[in-house]
Structure 1
């Protein structure tokens, strides 16, 4: 799907297309990133965006949140954060002599965790429950977060000072990790040109109720059992590369993708098929999302680091050796 940089969507455009056209008022290029962000919205999955500074990662997420509407909170992660700054805490109320719960910024529809790898592990652990179960336990009470709820996080891969590696348990809770690259010369020219004028104002196109309806509509997209089998085989091949004839890769992988990865791949592919206007998933949907869903779930060995072997390289070889299922339509 290709979205023009013009600000007026065609009259026949659906709500998703209108949202993307609105976001394109401020974002130049980055079509792949925007598509993955919308996939995460429809599939109810959290997304981690990685890229060097200055690539409009935060701006893209903020613009999308404004177009979608609902509650939006941003947390700038810093080394001095504590878990209570994220989920909330109990506060003593002197007039009544009782403790009252003060909810944190995690109680929102869209949570932007900016530079998420700048906070230590004790803060990251505060997100584990809410990212998986959509609830927060404070004291003895459990509080559900609003519906829909998504965490959209950014991180900078090139800095070493003041950053912390994310715990594997938290990384696995992100449905996708999207790596953002530099813009082309033409796109960068438009970026500079737009910087010379006042920024565009993003209008709200839909609201949380409409988003929930779109999520339910994407749930009706048909997934053939052969495609589910492909997702499962792909996850297993990351744990045992010998299953697809890649025995030499085994020394590079300490831990492969978890069962959550195959679930995420199928759910994301279903949302992508809906965005592309189909009522059924095709193999290309799985293939287009495989790297984004799996790359952050592989734990590589020190030998992989010394040989400069990346998760994307391992996954590309596995995908090349794993037979792709035949395209399937709506036949159930």
Structure 2
């Protein structure tokens, strides 16, 4: 009777932790809500492994038999072995990262990898077997019997941290061999190595052009200032007439079409950028306006006369200072109906 009670208690103890044996503490991993983050995510039957030997002994004996068979097998890593033969048993899990989110917030590689189960346990001591860590496609840690060799809580595993430089992911695999049904644990953590490598690339690109964005904006500002300063002495202070809409940017319009170098009727519609307008109504941006009857959308312009001050019916201009065939002339204002 006593033996039966003892056996029943032992079975209950084993069953209580049958699917709960740990996860990565460092680097930290992220799980979906409402899942047992300590559970194994896949199994491999010893009979399906193709390995010779008996796996019905003690955890340590099973581990020794496994490693002997594994060393002479076609497999080169525990990662390859579990991702090739593992049968997923946890809903939503995969063989590469288990239930963890490999796209979590990236973090720097830790000084040591940590495996934890509780405040008092790292690896479950009875679950002997090998484990490995990988940074992207580079193996950075391997041990033949992690539960037996790393017994602290949490278990602290030295690894090749330098090999993780520039890597985007650290993956950890543990195979527990305490029975003939082997348990697979897989966790992944995002590393900031790959994200960090983009920053130098952007910096080098900026240096190679020798023309960062900020100086370009600074250079453009004096161009606008110079245009206004140059135009200022040409202002006569008089307003000639109201006209149609213009969009002026850089020409000196007196009269006539932009395409006519000699003369012509006063413009009724022009599209000049930044010009010195003598007569017209425009939507100017950055121009020096003399007169007009307009819906102005001026950006930094200098308006000399307001539209409502326009009362002249006729004005004379002297064009001696203008090159070409101009000598003198008159401009008749065109009144809007």
TM-score by length of 2: 0.20
Decide which structure has greater helix share. 1
Larger radius of gyration: 2
1 or 2 for the larger relative contact order (CA 8 Å, sep ≥6)? 1
TM-score by length of 1: 0.20
